[in-house]
Structure 1
Amino acid sequence: MRTLTRRPAVAVLTTALLLLASACGGSDAAAGKIKLTVATFGEFGYGPLFAEYQKQHPDIEIQSRVTDFDTHFKTLATQLAAGRGAADVVAVEEQYVPQYIRAKDKFVNLADYGADQLKNQWSPWKWAQGTDGSYVLGLGTDMGSLAMCYRRDLFEQAGLPSDRASVAKLMPTWQAYADLAARFTAKLPKVKFADSAGTVYTAMLNQSPENYFSSKDDSYIADTNPAVRNAFFLAGGIAQKGETAAATTYTQAWNVAIKQGSFATIACPAWMLTQIKEAGGDGNTGKWDVTTVPGASGNQGGSFLTIPKQSAHPKEAYDLARWLTAPEQEKRLFLSDGILPSEPPAYKDPQVVAHTDPYFSNAPVGQLYAASADTLRPNYRGLHDADVRPEFGHALGRIEDKSEDVQQAWDDAVKTGREAIK
């Protein structure tokens, strides 16, 4: 979906920072027009939509700010603390939503403009992510329901079935996936089965209703939640056997590994397909395919459009955010950029469901991701998810570089995760 959006980020917000009082700010109208600034992390595919909106609203001028994930959230934290400089419409990724809902004094309550009347437009779990009941932080953009991308040619070289239905039957569960990794590596020892342990771990973890924190009281449960332990030991076990390419997603090494065909599978939300295409280049057209992911579908990624109270034009900003997230625009973004809507009217649209991708062997990506989206359930992230999650990713990396075994890495991750909260 976006070249720089979905990699895990180091936490950039602290409780103290979020509690700082904010003053009203925002940019002045420009030469008779109302100037609205929209800040996103990576490209959201909004360029053509901005042009159309300005044509329909000649009194509006839209300016786009696009930065990478870390820069976006570090800058936003500074702007919120200073009480000035924030865009009129700001994209917030799902892992930061719980923190910002707690900092509601810094953001417009979109319910004041009637957003709560639109709740049935979104999947229930998506709507629930962006609200605490009476307060609505943002309007949902995309989501990241999962499928499994795989190399047909490498499966064939390993003597395995390569058609979508057969591949899905080979790995209905994550344990079956791990068993298949061993079979594959035995046949093609120079090719790895997965890109990284972190990708497998994240996909498994996102299928659980709770991760590192309890949905009841936000207490740290990483050390007692069986979903976290099971995901870590299965992914870590694959890594310890040398069955991953140790290529962290969205890095240059990952791009090179895709281009060179160094690994055979990766759990992939819809927005990742564009990144695989860009990394693989034309020479890999038709080598990839897409099938269902092991286990139940989980969500990986997704954002909300919010309006900081600093905005000088909150009503106009809300009207723009509402238009950008309307089903018709969400549908267009999927057909043009592969950005999966979080709204059933959009992802169930006949054009979306019928959409195929020639790069991925004409896989019925619209059908696959729509079906996956329908099975999604809430996944509680917690106020400090962005602090803790990287610690477990680093620990899996230490298994891949052979500096720790799975048990050592687990013990360290549980400890450093707890310390990260403090």
Structure 2
Amino acid sequence: MRTIIRRTAPAVAALILLAACSPSDAGGKTKLTIATFGEFGYAPLIAEYEKLHPDIAVQNRVTDFDTHHKGLATQLATGRGAADVVAIEEQYIPQYRKAKDKFADLAQYGARDLEKQWAPWKWAQGSDGSFVLGLGTDMGSLALCYRRDLFAAAGLPTERDAVAKLMPDWPAYAATAEEFTRKTPGVKFADSAGTVYTAMLNQSPENYFSAADDSFIADRNPSVHNAFYLSGGIAAKGETAAATTFTQAWNVAIKQGSFATVACPAWMLSQIKEAGGDAGKGKWDVTTVPGASGNQGGSFLTVPKQGAHPKEAYELARWLTAPEQQKKLFLSDGILPSEPSVFEDPQVVAHTDPYFGDAPIGRIFAASADKLRPNYRGLRDADVRPEFGRALGRIEDRTQNVDQAWADAVRQAQAVLK
């Protein structure tokens, strides 16, 4: 997930209709469309691709996260309207792998020869062994973004190595949250319980479903229970700003300095910069995340079968996900590639960010990426996950305590599955 772009429903509908009715070829050029959610930083790369391939014209269709994925489901069901290349976020990949008859098998075009290009766990997400659904773009290995000035005001360490030692795991994070809130009652420690919960959950090999048989295990998985109760406990003590990521409230909270920490994948740094503006420069810093590294976000480029030019679409996807282009995206937009040759590249590792106090973000995120392990997402993950997020919200708005919210989340998740 990246910067969210809002569009009205009529505008999105018109865009999809236009794409469905537009000719595949125009002016003697082969016309390709690529659909993404939010900004992937592709504009300069597409311009470069068109210069390298003067017979190709590429249109980038950008909508918000929910509209994009709901629209794709409709387009695949009706057999019309899908772009030639479509980005799919990692949480939706398991269910679309079950609908692989709607997609071109990229192995037919030589994708298997590229397997070693990606981290093994990333490649495994986009392939079921023989069929290759998509080529990996970025990933969301985690760090911790924090406000140095607010830590100083609370009498806490401010240097990134000292902050990491202060909070090596999530229980230590919760203890620090309590101390911070006691010393600075006008500021919250975390943006939301949901962010803490998600970071913890993404460090577990299994979440709501069993990797063995995809059965629902959230009600008995200690990783889910522990993440919910720790993050819910922080919320119950009033130590979160109740500002959900990607909302206007979150942007305002960033600008006003209403909270001191947020678990942040690399792609979130640009959102913090955008929300914080010039006034936030130098106040934020980045250090390692509590606990083991986890992955939050990341996408794949797929080629729906309904397109008129699947081979050309594959070539575009292959070029955009090549190490050379992925390196450019990190250095220009901070979008962390899922390819070891890139995140271990000396120029990437040495990359710093002046907005975050010249934090060595290349080194921090590369080290986090190197520790990533597979995180199983069930086929119904996208249906179940929101129920637990809404339950944490009820703790933050004081309508339920942690026990009540947990019981409701489990019950409603089970109801969704039925």
Q: Do both share a fold (TM > 0.5)?
A: yes
From 31, 46, 50, the equivalent of 1:35 is: 31
Q: 1:193 aligns with which of 170, 189, 196?
A: 189
Partner residue, 1:2 = 2
Distance in 1 between residues matched to 2:216 and 2:245, nearest whole Å = 26
**In the alignment, what sits opposite 2:75?**
79
Aligned twin of 1:120: 116
SS at match of 2:198: helix
- Once the two structures are superposed, residues 241-294 of structure 1 have per-residue CA deviations (whole angstroms, 9 ceiling, x without a partner) of 000000011111100101011000000000000000000010110000000000
> Whole-Å Cα distance in 2 between the matches of residues 204 and 210 of structure 1?
11
Q: What is the TM-score when the length of structure 1 is the normalising length?
A: 0.94
Residue identity opposite 2:264 in structure 1? C
CA shift, 1:223, in A, is 0.2
In structure 2, distance between residues paired with 1:92 and 1:244: 31
How is 1:230-269 mapped onto 2 (pairs within 5 angstroms)?
Answer: 230-269=226-265
- Among 277, 281, 288, the alignment partner of 1:281 is 277
Q: 2:373: which partner in 1? A: 377
Displacement after TM superposition at 1:2 (Å):
2.5
Do the aligned residues in 1 keep the contact of 2:24 with 2:32 (CA within 8 Å)?
Answer: no
Where 1:36 maps in the other structure, the secondary structure is strand
1:48 maps to which of 41, 44, 58: 44
Aligned equivalents of 2:23 and 2:131: distance in 1?
Answer: 25
Residue matched to 2:404: 408
User: Of 220, 224, 238, which residue of structure 2 is paired with 1:224?
Assistant: 220
SS at match of 1:417: helix
Shift, 1:315, TM fit = 0.5
Task: Deviation per CA, 1:218-251: give whole Å up to 9, x if none.
Answer: 1000001000000000000000000000001111
Looking at structure 2, the residues matched to 28 and 189 of structure 1 have their Cα atoms a distance apart, in angstroms, of: 59
Mapped to 2, the partners of 1:282 and 1:189 lie a distance apart of: 26
1:319-345, CA deviations, whole angstroms, 9 ceiling, x for partnerless residues?
A: 110000000100000000010000001
Contact 1:33 1:60 in 2 (8 A): yes
| 1:110-140 Cα deviation digits (max 9, x unpaired) | 0111111111000000000001100010000
Report deviation, 1:25.
10
Aligned to 1:300: 296
Deviation at 1:75, TM superposition (A): 1.1
Which residue matches 1:346? 342
The normalised TM-score by structure 2 is 0.95
Q: Secondary structure at the match of 2:263?
A: strand
Q: Helix, strand or coil for the counterpart of 2:26? A: coil
1:361 aligned residue = 357
- Is the aligned partner of 1:180 residue 2:176? yes
1:108–1:308: 8 Å Cα contact kept in structure 2?
yes
Q: What does residue 309 of structure 1 align with?
A: 305
Counterpart of 1:3, as a letter, is T
Deviations along 1:286-321, one digit per CA (max 9) or x if unpaired, are 000000000000000000000000011010000110
Distance (Å, rounded) in 1 between the aligned partners of 2:287 and 2:404:
34
- The aligned length equals 404
- Alpha-carbon distance between aligned partners in 2 of 1:358 and 1:122, rounded to the nearest angstrom: 29
2:166 counterpart of 1:170:
yes
| Counterpart-to-counterpart distance in 2, 1:339 and 1:315 | 26
Contact 1:26 1:88 in 2 (8 A): no
One-letter code aligned to 1:329 = Q
1:347 alignment partner AA = F
CA distance in 2, matches of 1:76, 1:414: 29
Q: Which ranges of structure 1 fall in alignment gaps of 5 or more residues?
A: 6-23
CA distance in 2, matches of 1:56, 1:323: 11
- Measure, in 2, the Cα distance between the counterparts of 1:417 and 1:331: 40
Displacement after TM superposition at 1:30 (Å): 1.5
Q: Give distance in 2, aligned partners of 1:81 and 1:367.
A: 43
Q: What is the CA–CA distance in structure 2 between the aligned matches of 1:44 and 1:27, rounded to whole Å? A: 25
Amino acid in structure 2 at the alignment position of 1:353: V
Amino acid at match of 2:107: A
Distance across 1 between alignment mates of 2:45 and 2:3? 19
1:399 aligned to 2:384? no
CA distance in 2, matches of 1:112, 1:250: 38
Name the CA distance, whole Å, in 1 between partners of 2:375 and 2:107. 23
2:53 to 31, 53, 57: 57
Alignment deviations for residues 65-87 of structure 1 (CA, whole Å, 9 cap, x no partner): 00000111111111111101110
**What is the Cα deviation at residue 28 of structure 1?**
2.1
SS at structure 2 position matched to 1:90: strand
Distance 1:87 1:27, change over 3 A: farther
Q: Is the 8 A contact 1:25 1:312 kept in 2?
A: no
- Cα deviations by residue, 1:85-107 (Å, 9 ceiling, x for unpaired): 11000000001100111001100
Partner of 2:94: 98
Evaluate the alpha carbon distance shift between residue 26 and residue 207 of structure 1 in structure 2; reply closer, same or farther with a 3 A threshold.
farther
The Cα of 1:31 is off from its aligned counterpart by 2.3
Query: In structure 2, what is the Cα distance between the partners aligned to 1:398 and 1:371?
Result: 35
List alignment gaps of at least 5 residues for structure 2.
6-19
- How far apart are the structure 2 equivalents of 1:146 and 1:27? 42
CA contact (8 A) 2:210 2:217 kept: yes
Matched, 1:337 2:333: yes
Secondary structure in structure 2 of the residue aligned to 1:378: coil
Give the distance between the partners of 2:130 and 2:86, measured in 1 at CA.
21
Asked if structure 2 preserves the Cα contact closer than 8 Å seen for 1:26 and 1:310, the reply is no
